[in-house]
Amino acid sequence: MSLIIQEGGLLTILQTVDKHTDNDQKNNEYNGAVDSLSPMLANKLVGNDVHEPTLEMSGQPAVIQFTEPTIIAYSGGDFNGRVSEDDIQPNRIYHVDRGDVLSFQESTRGNRLYLAIAGGIAVEKSNVLKSGDEIIMRRNYTALHDEIFHMMSNKRKVSWGIGVYSLVEVYLSDTYHIVKRPDVPDEVYEKLEEREYTVTKEENRIQLSVEGQEIDFAGTDCVNPGVLGGVYLENNLPTIALNDFSAETELTHIGTIPSYHMHKLGQKRRGSKIKFKAIDASDAHAEAYGHYLWVNSLFKAIDYKISKELVKEKM
């Protein structure tokens, strides 16, 4: 059975959490989720492996119809949803029935959401989805899935979820670390730290452009590699490389945003603010380890909540 895309939204794609370079399917680019934390949280909630592909929806999300009962969760931007006559929210587990239609309101915070389906999903053609397209439910169910299905058999939702305050530090701060390059003068980073920039646009998954005070630095005249999170100067203003950025660029590379700050960057939309804080690579490694521990604590909290709910059902 499958999911039917009734309305394709602004940009809806089946996407992996991390970049996949071994993909041999034509018309499919799996360059990784722009906000890689959210699909892992959604997958964890429905009992999947955290790296299972999810639906990434940007701007205006799709409208989706289900052709069989399943368990869903979504995470990312603050998009309130609706299934038939019921309101739903991010970071919670929901049961949907055959014929149910899932739709979303405009986001009050953030630019993307990630929808996970218990047992996994796949597409047979292009992973860029449009109205009328079909998504196959793989039904790669485990014993945990069976227990979650049983737990949800007589109810639409559970009473708990990941609270917004658990994610405040990740998604609401406007400050972004930029790892310094040894060949860029300190004066460039001092200017960056003094200024605040405003997001003007995002070229779909390619780069994020900003406006603000210019940075007068030419750099060396050479071709630079396209680095995810790379901060480049275009017309003397920072532009930040996202997942579909080109492999090479003639733009001057002045530093890189670490992976642990890319989650919230993926949720920035027009009018959002960005501030930079320059750090050394050693500091970035320490921060990345702290972020890894924090994410694992979230996963453990979800495991605990699910196990507690399952025990309640058996009593």
Question: Does any domain span residue 98?
Answer: yes
User: 199 and 260: one domain?
Assistant: yes
Averaged confidence pLDDT in the chain? 89
- Do 241 and 162 sit in the same domain of this protein? no
Range of the domain at 220: 173-279
Please give the biggest Cα pair distance in the chain: 70
pLDDT of 132 reads 94
The answer on pLDDT for 39 being more than 90 is yes
What is the rounded CA–CA span in Å between residue 22 and residue 77? 30
Does residue 36 belong to any structural domain of this protein? Answer: yes
pLDDT reported for residue 151: 84
> What are the tens digits of pLDDT across the range 283-302?
999 999 999 998 999 899 89
User: What is this structure's pTM?
Assistant: 0.92
> Which positions ≥6 away from 177 have C-beta within 8 Å?
257, 258, 261, 276, 277, 278, 279, 283, 284, 287
User: What is the per-residue pLDDT for 106?
Assistant: 84
The answer to whether residue 285 is domain-embedded is no
165's CB contacts (< 8 A; 6+ apart) are: none
Mark whether 124 and 143 lie in a shared domain. Answer: yes
In this structure, are 249 and 307 located in the same domain?
A: no
The residue among 258 and 157 whose pLDDT is bigger is 258
Specify the pLDDT at position 85.
Answer: 83
Q: Are residues 20 and 92 located together in one domain of the fold?
A: yes
**Residue 315 predicted with pLDDT over 60:** no
Encode pLDDT of 155-210 as tens digits. Answer: 888 877 777 666 766 667 889 999 999 999 999 999 999 999 999 998 889 999 99
Would residue 288 count as lying in a domain? no
Could you tell me if residue 289 is inside a domain?
no
Residues 147 and 240 in one domain: no
Long-range CB pairs of 143-151 (<8 Å, 24+ gap) are 144/47, 144/306, 145/46, 145/47, 145/71, 145/118, 145/119, 147/310, 148/46, 148/47, 148/71, 148/93, 148/118, 148/306, 148/310, 149/71, 149/118, 150/313, 151/309, 151/310, 151/313
Looking at the fold, whether 12 and 120 belong to one and the same domain comes out as yes
Q: Is residue 146 domain-shared with residue 178, that is, in the same domain?
A: no
Number of other residues whose CB lies within 10 A of the CB of residue 246: 11
Same domain (yes/no): 99, 182: no
Q: How far is residue 70's CA from residue 118's CA, in Å, rounded to a whole number?
A: 7
The pLDDT of residue 22 is 66
Report the first-to-last Cα separation within the chain, whole angstroms. 33
Total tally of structural domains belonging to the chain: 2
pLDDT at 27: 62
- pLDDT of amino acid 23: 59
Q: What is the pLDDT of residues 203-242, one digit of tens each?
A: 889 999 999 998 988 777 678 888 999 999 999 999 999 9
> Could you read off the pLDDT of 115-145 as tens digits, one per residue?
999 999 998 888 999 999 999 999 999 999 9
Q: What CATH number is given to the structural domain containing 184?
A: 2.40.100.10
Residue 275, token pair as written in the block:
């501030």
Residues 74 and 206 in one domain: no
